[in-house]
Amino acid sequence: MAQQDAKQDARRDWSDQYWWSSDGVRLHARVYAGPDGTESAPPILCMPGLARNARDFEALAPHVAGYRKVIVIEFRGRGESAYAKDPMTYVPLTYVQDVVAMLDELGIDRFAAIGTSLGGLVAMLMAAALPGRLVGAVLNDVGPELQAAGLERIRDYIGAGGSQPTWMHAARAFAELNGAIYPGYEIHDWLRLTKRTHRLTAEGRIVTDYDKQIAAPLRVPGGGDAAADLWPVYRALGDIPLLILRGELSDILARSAGEKMAAELPRARLVEVPGVGHAPTMDEPQALAAIDAWVAELPAA
């Protein structure tokens, strides 16, 4: 049964939502209440990338909640969502089922979605699986054509890595791994990003905040490759307001693919975020401005 924790301390602006998957995994989301008078507006689901969690949206979610209710999903195996017993359930179709279970329990019929990387793929699949329920989407550095080099880079690091003794050590290690993605970042930026993606263990060590077994489906032959034709799934987005964000330095979404996506659907708009790779954090001014314009296009009820 979905259950919302009404206790909300003064240091945060969200409440906790818990629900169960069909295979018994306890899942978690952050819920940001929208302004008074927006209760009938379709809420916005924020869905993070492969190795990310709800903290990925700690800046964007309260900003968008100035317009309407926001629900930030934590996929199984990330953040406060429980780890799956079967690692082969760490696949997009299962994530879709998990999110639909929450929507159905909460009685949410229509919704918009902001999805980074994996979260964007889940949004596309939901558009195909739930015709008419998705009223708008932001695809953050992802689409139906993905570059093989970027996918290989992700396969190489996902699920790897040990622990670090301090947040500063972890931030420097994270910067060494991802420096080409955010070349303009200073150490305070890396600390902020590290605290979004890592956690402190009971033993006082800093580790990535996800089940290392999320990499298991990527290790099987063909796992995570770019061979599947996702254009039919992308076209299921139809004529809803659609924002495509692309990092200027992205090795996942090529500029040509983004331009093709924008040309394919009638209300699609491509915005390139300068100076970053895969994926924009959506804290960037260009991304925020584009998201504000996208929200203005969403149906009010």
Backbone angles phi, psi at 247, to 5 degrees: -70, 135
pLDDT of residue 223: 59
Look up the pTM and report it: 0.94
The CA distance from 144 to 230, in Å, is 5
Strands (E), the chain: 3-5, 15-20, 26-32, 44-47, 70-74, 111-116, 134-140, 198-200, 206-208, 242-247, 268-273
What does the pLDDT average to over 141-149? Answer: 96
Closest CA to 114 of 191, 166, 160, 59: 59
Instruction: Please list, in sequence order, all residues whose beta carbon lies within 8 angstroms of the beta carbon of residue 244, skipping any fewer than 6 positions away.
Output: 138, 139, 143, 258, 261, 262, 268, 269, 270, 271
Question: What would the pLDDT profile of 114-142 be if each residue is shown by its tens digit?
Answer: 999 999 999 999 999 999 999 999 999 99
Question: What would the pLDDT profile of 9-24 be if each residue is shown by its tens digit?
Answer: 435 799 999 999 999 9
Full set of structural domains in the chain with CATH: 3-158+227-297 (3.40.50.1820), 160-209 (no CATH)
The CA distance from 218 to 132, in Å, is 31
Instruction: Please list, in sequence order, all residues whose beta carbon lies within 8 angstroms of the beta carbon of residue 277, skipping any fewer than 6 positions away.
Output: 180, 181, 182, 247, 248, 249, 250, 251
What does the pLDDT average to over 280-291? Answer: 97
- Which structure tokens are listed for 70? 């926001």
The SS3 of residue 249 is: coil
Question: What would the pLDDT profile of 175-223 be if each residue is shown by its tens digit?
Answer: 999 999 999 999 999 999 999 999 999 999 999 999 999 999 988 866 5
